[in-house]
Structure 1
Amino acid sequence: MSSTIQDLCRAISQNTSYDAFAPSLSAQQWEMLGTYLQPLPLPPGQMLIDQGAQDRTVYFIQSGTLSVHVIGSSGQMQLAILNAGSVVGEGAFFSRLPRSANVIATGPAMLWRMTSIRFAEMANRQPALALEVTLALGAVIAKRMVNKPKRVAVT
């Protein structure tokens, strides 16, 4: 399945959840952002983020559903379900701390990933674009932190 940045843009624009990733980007800026992202098809049951891992990649969900859960002393606890148009991995992206939860595809999913190296490149070459993406990711974290059930789901 071939995927384009317009497919991701459409999914993000249709996301009406409280903690939606909602950057204010022009069509040209979306195309530019696409040059810093890599498409990532994810099969059902595939682990995307491993709790405790040292990784700062942030993921944008084009299609599918992801389950966010932690493993603790009392077993596994589901924290959130994330759908198309959402973002995951934003906590470690900013904090540089280990991943706080596991994230697994509940069915087939299509994601776009941005590594910290690609983000640094974008910040150097397209600072206005990097700033808008940063502010939009920060807004997701802020909204998740205010919403108690989603607070622990900042990955």
Structure 2
Amino acid sequence: MSTSIQELCRAVAQNTSYDAFAPAFNAQQWETLGSYLQAFDLSAGQVLIDQGAHDRTLFFIERGALSVHMLGSQGQMRLAILNPGSVVGEGAFFSRLPRSANVVATGAARVWRLTAIRFAEMSNRQPSLALELSMALGAVIAKRMVNKPKRVAVT
């Protein structure tokens, strides 16, 4: 496994949160997934996702934390913090609806991006990998929707 994807793999394995992203990938599958992802760094305060944007990109958090903000019905901001090994952007990825919240780096962070186009390529070339990824993402959404405070994290 390359050093770069190995760090994301380690973050995912160490994530013990209720809504953890937990795909059943072996080392080779992680490596293959990594070939469809693009890593990039965020600085403190940098916006990753804009509420209302039409974008289906999915993000995996390797390090740092992301703050999820959403305007509530009374104008208040609701907040969730996503930590290393977690995923964000899964709501719009599946629904094709506009982004439901803003996501901002709370400090220096590294995330991995999977665009809808790259996922379509993976689905054609690596269908079992795409299926396992989809099932793991579906589990994250299901857990976040059952846990009312975590619903805001479905972006």
Normalising by the smaller structure, the TM-score range is over 0.9
CA contact (8 A) 1:69 1:76 kept: no
2:34 aligns to what? 34
List structure 1 segments (4+ residues) > 6 angstroms apart after TM superposition.
Answer: none
Provide the TM-score with structure 2 as the length reference.
Answer: 0.95
Backbone CA RMSD of aligned residues: 1.1
Shift of 1:76: 4.7
The yes-or-no answer on 1:114 pairing with 2:117 is no
| Alignment of structure 1 residues 62-141 onto 2, 5 Å | 62-72=62-72, 74-141=74-141
Paired positions, count: 153
Distance 1:40 1:96 in 2: 23
| Unaligned 5+ runs, structure 1 | none
Residues in 1 aligned to 2:46 and 2:114: alpha-carbon distance in whole angstroms:
18
- Is the 8 Å Cα contact of residues 66 and 104 (structure 2) preserved in structure 1? yes
CA distance in 2, matches of 1:134, 1:48: 22
Task: Give SS of 2:16's match.
Answer: coil
Q: What secondary structure sits across from 1:70 in the alignment?
A: strand
TM-aligned CA deviation for residue 71 of structure 1: 2.8
Question: How many percent of aligned residue pairs carry the same amino acid?
Answer: 75
Structure 2 spans left out of the alignment, 5+ residues: none
**Separation in 1, partners of 2:61, 2:38:** 12
Residue 152 of structure 1 aligns to a residue whose secondary structure is: helix
Alignment of 1:3-42 (within 5 A): 4-42=4-42
Moved more, 32-41 or 77-86: 77-86
Judge which range, 117-126 or 63-72, deviates more.
63-72
Residues 78-134 of structure 1: per-residue CA shift (max 9 Å, x gap): 320000000000000000000000000000000000000000000000000000000
CA gap 1:19/1:34 in 2 versus in 1, 3 angstroms: same
Q: Is the 8 A contact 1:144 1:150 kept in 2?
A: yes
In structure 1, distance between residues paired with 2:90 and 2:96: 10
